């Protein structure tokens, strides 16, 4: 479906994102694309100034830009205070979210007689649902998923192919778990006994609150005792590993390959960039930001930004990075100074 730019402006205004069109307000937009790929019937956006040069060559029918951005003559632009927020609303309006097929309960699914499946659920072939499972309304479970005994799944959830939910785990409403992820596997719990590792029974569970999205091939360990918790609205990218007994707060964002050890407490609105590693039994405060590939060995205070291995306040880490890059030059300077000192020593010795 195509929308006139004037119609998109109305939609953005309803979302509290007032915008102004400069150019052809009646131009029809049928898609959203990057500046490089967009055509005349599509809209794009510029949120990062480093891509400004692409404005000169884009074939987009219109571009969402900031209010201050200079645009080429003749280009139709939609000026917004926050281009990234504006394009997000436009993508939702023009393309919408992925729609799940409505298949009902496939006869080839294996569902225990004691399981309760809510109204409007779609259970695909190849799904196995064990005893005493409770599944809410409008849940979609794709082929290859296994839902173990005593699991609770809320309304409007989606489990993509080959997701495994271990026994006793709880998913809230509107939880999405992408393909290949495992919820509630045993944590790394072993005790050294007479030189051997004795497995500690992992008798806790995982609880995932409402509106959480888990990426592909993530693993969330069940607690040894009690629960591992993922707070409301938190979003995981792919390949995230959460250790047993860890508690993640609300509205956090973890980028790919983050690893959090066991018994960690993470506050609300925490961002961890790619390949962050968190040691066990630490506290990460609210609103903390942890840079990519950081190795966190100590508590991180609220509202702080850290980077590096081991992680340090980001200003200190950047100074350290700068020094490391200068090490070859510093090494040469030291060698020259050593040679000069040696030369001075020989000169003094010859005079003595």
Please list the active-site residues: 244
Pull the structure tokens for residue 176. Answer: 């999405």
CA separation for the pair 35, 47 (Å, rounded): 11
**121-137 as b/e, with b when 16 or more CB fall inside 10 Å?**
bbbbebbebbeebebbe
Residues composing the chain? 352
Contact 44, 60 (CB under 8 A): yes
CA separation for the pair 224, 17 (Å, rounded): 46
**Closest by CA position to 240, among listed 207, 214, 265, 266:** 214
Backbone angles phi, psi at 338, to 5 degrees: -60, -40
How many Å is the Cα radius of gyration of the chain? 27
What are the residues facing 182 on neighbouring strands?
164, 219
CA separation for the pair 234, 248 (Å, rounded): 8
Backbone angles phi, psi at 82, to 5 degrees: -135, 90
Cα distance between the two ends of the chain: 95
CA separation for the pair 92, 1 (Å, rounded): 12
Q: What is the DSSP string of 101-125?
A: P---B-TTSEE-TT-EE-TT-EE-T
């Amino acid at each position: 479906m195509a929308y006139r730019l004037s119609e998109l402006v109305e939609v953005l205004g309803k979302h509290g994102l007032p915008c102004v069109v400069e150019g052809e307000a009646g131009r029809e937009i049928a898609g959203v694309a990057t500046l490089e790929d967009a055509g005349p019937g599509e809209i794009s956006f510029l949120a990062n100034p480093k891509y400004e040069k692409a404005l000169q060559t884009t074939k987009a029918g219109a571009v969402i830009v900031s209010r201050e951005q200079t645009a080429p003559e003749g280009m139709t632009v939609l000026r917004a205070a926050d281009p990234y927020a504006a394009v997000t609303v436009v993508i939702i309006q023009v393309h919408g979210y992925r729609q799940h097929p409505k298949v009902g309960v496939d006869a080839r699914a294996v569902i225990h007689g004691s399981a309760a499946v809510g109204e409007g659920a779609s259970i695909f072939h190849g799904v196995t649902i064990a005893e005493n499972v409770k599944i809410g309304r409008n849940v979609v479970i794709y082929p290859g998923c296994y839902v173990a005994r005593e699991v609770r799944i809320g309304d409007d959830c989606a489990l993509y192919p080959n997701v495994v939910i271990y026994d006793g785990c709880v998913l809230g409403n509107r939880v999405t778990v992408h393909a290949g992820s495992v919820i509630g596997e045993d944590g790394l719990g072993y005790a050294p006994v007479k030189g051997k590792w004795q497995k500690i029974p992992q008798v806790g569970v995982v609880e995932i609150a409402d509106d959480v999205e888990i990426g592909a091939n993530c693993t969330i360990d069940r607690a040894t005792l009690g629960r591992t918790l993922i707070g409301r609205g938190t979003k995981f990218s792919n390949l995230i590993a959460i250790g047993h007994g860890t508690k993640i707060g609300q509205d956090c964002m973890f980028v790919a390959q983050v690893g959090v050890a066991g018994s960690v407490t993470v506050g609300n609105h925490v961002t961890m960039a790619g390949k962050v590693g968190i040691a066990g039994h630490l506290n990460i405060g609210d609103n903390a930001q942890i840079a990519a590939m950081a190795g966190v060995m100590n508590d991180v205070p609220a509202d702080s930004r850290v980077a590096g291995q081991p992680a340090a306040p980001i200003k200190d880490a950047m100074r350290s990075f700068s020094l490391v890059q200068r090490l070859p030059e510093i090494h040469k300077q030291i060698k020259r100074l050593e040679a000069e000192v040696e030369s001075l020593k020989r000169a003094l010795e010859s005079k003595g």
